[in-house]
Amino acid sequence: MKIRKMEISDYDSVYSLWMSCQGMGLNNIDDAEEGIERFLKRNPDTCFVAEENGRIAGIILAGNDGRRGYIYHTAVSPSARRKGIGSQLVRAALDALKNLGIIKAALVTFSRNEEGNHFWEKQGFTVRDDLLYRNKTLIEMTRIDT
């Protein structure tokens, strides 16, 4: 298994991987190839894929605003889970953020995603119950169910 930086040429395989996982929370704009390409251009050193036998088995997108790091759309193929791939991807992303001078990282998970929330707790991410997450869509987008 090899961890390497994600390239836009990985998009089709990554998207297929996301679609194989339940509850990814994708949409037709941010997660389209153009949206991911913008994200990779802005965050060239913090997004990684895991390759196993020549196929992409895992993905993590991470970025920062110069102050805080943020993790998005982490997924491991259902057939490749329980091998430490997710942990290695998280370690790669956090190390990359740290190398950029970022000292704190955050992420959002769906409360109903028990498996994902358990994973993040094992990675040392804690729940903040003193915050409310808010967002506002600036243009119409379509959610993609996985």
For 29-71, what is each residue's pLDDT tens digit? 999 999 999 999 999 999 999 999 999 999 999 999 999 999 9
**pTM > 0.75: yes or no:** yes
Q: At what angle do helices 11-19 and 33-42 cross, to 10 degrees?
A: 110
Q: Which domains does the chain have, with CATH numbers?
A: 2-144 (3.40.630.30)
Q: How many residues belong to the chain?
A: 146
φ/ψ region of 51 (left if φ > 0, alpha if ψ in -120 to 50, else beta) reads: beta
